[in-house]
């Protein structure tokens, strides 16, 4: 008996099966929970048409604001395809190459979004798998002309990655924790780089120079995975009292910068036709030149445009973005590839330093927000196109097996090395273990640089070996770079999410621990 109704002096007893009601409630909750994995409520008040909730009720569908955001992004992709179609005269039929590439990017974006909402793992994994699926289902095919377009788009994505890394470097944190940032950013990277080079030399039979080329790329940590995971821990207070999220993010930016610069220097030296002595000397010179020129460009953006200009935000964004493109493309053209990436990072860092003095907080200023928006478009392009270069039937099973063994072994070695090289950083044992686990996440740099050597081989350039051997080495590098994303990106995200609450302490816990230590000291006294 569920309820008593009264009307005109007569009591009516309504009997309801409690099991049916409970089952219906649980059933509804199950559906709502499933839908809420993908569809969240808007954080602030929003407007929607009067008919929206009737046709698309929440939570079975997204809110109007979220749906409009997704629709805008898809429209922008289609507009970009339309512009390229008008310029290149691509066939508009279903077999059109440009159309298939556009559909790949849109599918990668949507599948990555669903992947993130359902699994809580980085969307880039879903995007990469979408590219692999499209390639192996023969839904996309790239000719040489569009392979060149693919290379240029990856370079643009690299500019965005490096600029965001530079804008995220806080001069105050570097000044206060410079030893910890350099130790955590350089030493573990060096250990993994050497380990990858040695492992692939003996397991995949890569020449030493190719092994170090691969090592310099694989050793890079992915901010696209690390930063969101760390910020989620920071928002609930884990590790904040010691500034661990801030230190790790700064160290990751240093790690990325040195990784891209060293990779560019080695790749340029391998495929250069100049004298070996000049190429050796050019490496350190390109590092100095990149840092100096980038710093000057970043400082200029604090003066030009004028800080009170109505259009200061878009002008500063264009200055950093176009300056980064110029430095990357020109440095590659003149054979000083190592200078471009460092110039991009230096310009972002110096610009953020001066902008902070003018009232813009580091990594939260309007220009950083514009780069975040731009990354929304280039993330599916980067990972979908990288995945689309992997043909499963053409992969050597031995390369996959040995590459996996090498990657996993070197990840473990890096985690152990991080624990031992972080001496004098003011970290306890649990915090050192956590940072070692954090360094397992790879993604962005590997996707941007993985196909670079294969592109050069396909374009007819040579590193001094036979074309057959070089193609094998380049394909092995691409395969290992894709493996690193597929294996380490979800692994890193899971380890950060699971280990953070267990190995880091909240601010309140730190205060309580310090108070207990003071009480013990006073007791001993």
What confidence tens digit (pLDDT) does each residue in 71-84 have? 877 776 776 666 55
Q: Average pLDDT in the 497-521 region?
A: 61
pLDDT one-digit tens code per residue, 495-505: 888 888 888 88
CA 157 to CA 378: how far, in whole Å? 6
CA 37 to CA 213: how far, in whole Å? 40
Using CA atoms, how far residue 71 sits from 9, 64, 109, 495, in Å, is 57, 10, 12, 33
Total residue length of the chain: 525
What average pLDDT is seen over the chain? 80
State CA 88 to chain mean position distance: 31
Residue 458 has pLDDT above 80, yes or no: yes
Binning pLDDT at 50, 70 and 90, where does residue 197 land?
Answer: very high
Which tokens is 411 given?
């990840």
pLDDT at 480: 92
pLDDT one-digit tens code per residue, 310-351: 888 888 998 899 888 888 888 888 777 778 888 998 999 899
Binning pLDDT at 50, 70 and 90, where does residue 519 land?
Answer: very low
CA 486 to CA 443: how far, in whole Å? 8
Query: Has residue 394 been placed in a domain?
Result: yes
Dump the DSSP string for 392-457. Answer: GGGS-HHHHHHHHHHHHHHHHHHHHHHHHH-TTSS--HHHHHHHHHHTT---HHHHHHTTHHHHHH
162: Cβ contacts below 8 Å, ≥ 6 apart: 256, 257, 260, 324, 341, 344, 345, 348
Query: Has residue 142 been placed in a domain?
Result: no
Query: Has residue 227 been placed in a domain?
Result: yes
Which secondary structure element, helix H or strand E, spans residue 7, and what is its range? strand 3-7
Residue 267 has pLDDT above 60, yes or no: yes
Instruction: Examine residue 305 and say whether the peptide bond preceding it is cis (omega within 30 degrees of 0).
Output: yes
pLDDT at 58: 81
Q: Average pLDDT in the 50-67 region?
A: 81
CA 52 to CA 73: how far, in whole Å? 20
Binning pLDDT at 50, 70 and 90, where does residue 198 land?
Answer: very high
CA 370 to CA 358: how far, in whole Å? 18
| Strand pairing report for 10-14 and 3-7 | antiparallel
Q: Average pLDDT in the 378-405 region?
A: 87
Query: Has residue 235 been placed in a domain?
Result: yes
Which tokens is 319 given?
């200055």
CA 230 to CA 238: how far, in whole Å? 9
CB 185 within 8 A of CB 251: yes
Query: Has residue 333 been placed in a domain?
Result: yes
CB atoms < 10 A from the CB of 419, how many?
Answer: 17
Residue 1 has pLDDT above 80, yes or no: no
User: What CATH number does the domain containing 370 carry?
Assistant: 1.20.1530.20
Please, is 172 exposed, middle or buried when counting C-beta atoms within 10 Å of its C-beta (0-12, 13-18, 19+)?
A: exposed
Binning pLDDT at 50, 70 and 90, where does residue 514 land?
Answer: very low
- The secondary structure of 172-211, three-state, reads HHHHHCHHHHHHHHHHHHHHHHHHHHHHHHHHCCCCHHHH
Structural domains counted in the chain: 1
pLDDT at 237: 80
Which tokens is 341 given?
């990436």
CA 337 to CA 162: how far, in whole Å? 14
Q: Average pLDDT in the 264-292 region?
A: 79
Query: Has residue 23 been placed in a domain?
Result: no
State CA 33 to chain mean position distance: 28
Which tokens is 147 given?
């392979």
- Which of 449, 337, 436 is closest to 389 using CA atoms? 449
Three-class DSSP category at 105: helix
Containing domain of residue 391, as a range? 150-507
CA 459 to CA 118: how far, in whole Å? 41
- Which of 495, 410, 383, 434 is closest to 215 using CA atoms? 410
Query: Has residue 340 been placed in a domain?
Result: yes
Strands (E), 48-158: none
> Maximum CA pair distance of the chain?
106
CA 462 to CA 453: how far, in whole Å? 10
Cα Rg of the chain (Å, integer): 26
CB 159 within 8 A of CB 318: no
Residue 9 CA neighbour count, 13 Å, CB half: 0
Is pLDDT larger for residue 182 or for residue 148? 182
CB 260 within 8 A of CB 520: no
pLDDT at 29: 65
Which tokens is 321 given?
């973005």
Q: Average pLDDT in the 445-462 region?
A: 85
Query: Has residue 386 been placed in a domain?
Result: yes
Residue 93 has pLDDT above 50, yes or no: no
Lowest-pLDDT choice from 2-6, 115-119, 228-232, 383-387: 2-6
């Amino acid at each position: 008996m569920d309820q008593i109704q009264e009307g005109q002096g007569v009591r009516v007893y309504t009997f309801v099966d409690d099991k049916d009601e409970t089952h219906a409630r649980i059933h509804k909750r199950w559906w709502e929970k499933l839908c809420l994995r993908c569809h969240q409520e808007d954080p602030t008040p929003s407007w929607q048409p009067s008919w929206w909730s009737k046709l698309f009720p929440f939570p079975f569908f997204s809110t109007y604001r979220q749906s409009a955001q997704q629709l805008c992004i898809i429209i922008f992709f289609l507009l970009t395809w339309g512009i390229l179609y008008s310029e290149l005269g691509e066939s508009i039929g279903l077999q059109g190459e440009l159309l298939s590439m556009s559909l790949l990017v849109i599918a990668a974006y949507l599948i990555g979004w669903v992947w993130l909402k359902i699994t809580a793992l980085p969307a880039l994994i879903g995007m990469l798998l979408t590219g692999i699926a499209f390639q192996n289902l023969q839904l996309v095919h790239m000719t040489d002309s569009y392979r060149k377009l693919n290379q240029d788009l990856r370079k643009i994505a690299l500019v965005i990655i490096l600029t965001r890394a530079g804008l995220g470097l806080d001069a105050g944190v570097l000044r206060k924790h410079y030893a910890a940032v350099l130790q955590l950013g350089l030493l573990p990277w060096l250990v993994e780089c050497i380990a990858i080079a040695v492992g692939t030399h003996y397991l995949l039979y890569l020449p030493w120079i190719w092994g170090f080329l691969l090592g310099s790329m694989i050793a890079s940590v992915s901010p696209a995975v690390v930063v969101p995971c760390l910020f989620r821990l920071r928002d609930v207070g884990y590790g904040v009292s010691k500034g661990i999220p801030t230190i790790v993010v700064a160290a990751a930016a240093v790690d990325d910068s040195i990784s891209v610069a060293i990779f560019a220097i080695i790749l340029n030296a391998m495929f250069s036709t100049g004298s070996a002595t000049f190429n050796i000397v050019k490496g350190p010179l390109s590092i100095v030149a990149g840092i100096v020129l980038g710093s000057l460009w970043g400082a200029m953006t604090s003066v030009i445009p004028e800080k009170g200009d109505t259009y200061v935000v878009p002008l500063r964004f264009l200055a950093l973005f176009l300056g980064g493109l110029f430095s990357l493309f020109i440095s590659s053209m003149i054979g000083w590839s190592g200078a471009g990436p460092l110039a991009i990072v230096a310009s972002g860092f110096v610009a953020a330093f001066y902008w902070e003095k003018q009232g813009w907080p580091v990594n939260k200023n309007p220009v950083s927000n514009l780069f975040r928006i731009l990354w929304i478009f280039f993330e599916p392009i980067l990972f979908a196109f990288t995945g689309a270069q992997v043909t499963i039937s053409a992969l050597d099973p031995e390369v996959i097996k040995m590459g996996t063994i090498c990657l996993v072994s070197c990840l473990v070695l890096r985690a152990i090395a991080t624990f031992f090289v972080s001496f004098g950083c003011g970290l306890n044992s649990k915090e050192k273990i956590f940072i070692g686990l954090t360094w397992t996440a790879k993604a962005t740099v590997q996707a941007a640089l993985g196909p670079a050597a294969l592109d050069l081989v396909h374009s007819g350039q040579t590193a001094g070996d036979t074309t057959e051997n070089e193609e094998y080495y380049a394909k092995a590098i691409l395969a290992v770079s894709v493996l690193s994303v597929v294996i380490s990106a979800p692994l890193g995200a899971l380890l950060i999410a699971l280990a953070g609450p267990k190995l880091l302490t909240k601010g309140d816990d730190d205060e309580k621990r310090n108070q207990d230590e003071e009480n013990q000291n006073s007791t001993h006294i």
